[in-house]
Amino acid sequence: MIDVKDLNEYPEKYRDSQRSRGADESQVDSIIAADLARKNAITAFEALRAEQNAFGKKVAAAKGEEKQQLLAQVKDLAARVKSASAEADAAQAEQDELLRTFPNRIIEGIPAGGEDEFVVLKTVGQPRDFAAEGFEPKDHLEIGELIGGIDMERGAKVSGARFAFLKGQVARLEIALMNMGLDQALSNGFIPMITPTLVRPETMAGTGFDVKHDDEIYRLEKDDLYLVGTSEVALAGYHADEIIDLSAGPLRYAGWSSCYRREAGSAGKDTRGIIRVHQFNKLEMFSYVPMEEAEAEHARLLAWEEEMLAKIEVSYRVIDTAAGDLGNSAARKFDCEAWIPSQGRFRELTSTSNCTGYQARRLNIRERVPGAESKGTRAVATLNGTLATDRWIVAILETHQNPDGSVTVPQALRPYLGGLEKLELV
């Protein structure tokens, strides 16, 4: 959640953020009013509690009729204390509800607007010119079927639409991608993690997802558990309610997990192939850093994503996502989009988000204030970024295809495929 103290001190920054997101600016004033009501209610409750405690001493010292009169007053006071306590709890609940849905304050300078208002920061490489090579590029599904690696028909038979079997050479390709990404993560100080894919509602909500209204999330109602759409959720919850030590540098985890998304509202979009499916595997970077180091860590995560994209030899661009296209928890997000030849456009392969202290406050993750004599604590910053996922297979198959439908394996991936240089037709 956002820092209410900061919002009270700098409300215009939060109004600007809401305006850039295309969100409701009046929520800022609602939170300020709710916070004032909460403070007033707590003050009233504490004053009555102090009066009640003082009365208790009077009653203990009184005798006879005086004591009976005081006891009657104590009873009335107890009722008022109970009422004041309920008012304070209600004021706290009202503020909590407002904060639950209020998005993170964006980092100043990112583009305002919606999905199409992103800014291209750079483009790397030139899309392959298939026309100059004399053949029309096939799409990834046709290639996957020719090399015996993608079976959508049986995926639908077993599980329904937007499910697939990856098998043979394509299954090996995915595992190779994940292992290459894991080796890179290890070399940069990440701790590998195999994470749970079912989490409690407080973990899902703590990460910033709206469990009440997000139709993308699968819920197991009987168990009150949620299937994650990214290992970010489990990794964010890993240190919930803890004070962590960042004195030796960032805590970095690389989470390998299956992920699940309902793809609600995606009817008719990307129905062919594995670009948009309900289940996929992903290797996710997750960092805990001091707040003042968050933007530098964000730049590092982006650089590591680009390092992986260079290894698979695809043309890509980096975009600064517009405020209105950010999730609630992100203050800034960079996407890396690879060129997909069959579609003639760039499609997202990776994203990396700086969530500043938003998730940490919701999950109560803190560090000791450096050099503070009072030994106080403060929220840390959390960041995430993708190192590999099933969608990368789309870019690899299409970019490196040959006229017959076979696929040349990028050099960096060959050691992870036992030296295999080509995915052959079957």
276 is catalytic: yes
Q: Which of 80, 100, 200, 276 is catalytic?
A: 276
Q: Which of 25, 46, 263, 348 is catalytic?
A: 348
Exposed (0-12), middle (13-18) or buried (19+): which is 293, by Cβ within 10 Å?
Answer: middle
100 is catalytic: no
Q: What CA–CA distance (Å, rounded) separates 338 from 334? A: 13
361 is catalytic: no
Exposed (0-12), middle (13-18) or buried (19+): which is 297, by Cβ within 10 Å?
Answer: buried
Beta strand pairing status for 119-124 and 316-320? antiparallel
Amino acid letter, 247: S
CB distance 424 to 146 below 8 Å: no
Residue 408: C-alpha distances to residues 146, 275, 312, 425 (Å): 14, 21, 11, 12
Q: Which of 261, 300, 362, 366 is catalytic?
A: 261
391 is catalytic: yes
Q: Which of 174, 351, 353, 361 is catalytic?
A: 351
Amino acid letter, 53: N
- Of residues 94, 18, 113, 87, the one with CA closest to residue 7: 18
CB distance 352 to 333 below 8 Å: yes
Instruction: At 118, list the tokens.
Output: 């992103």
Q: What CA–CA distance (Å, rounded) separates 142 from 148? A: 10
Catalogue the active-site residues.
Answer: 261, 276, 348, 351, 391
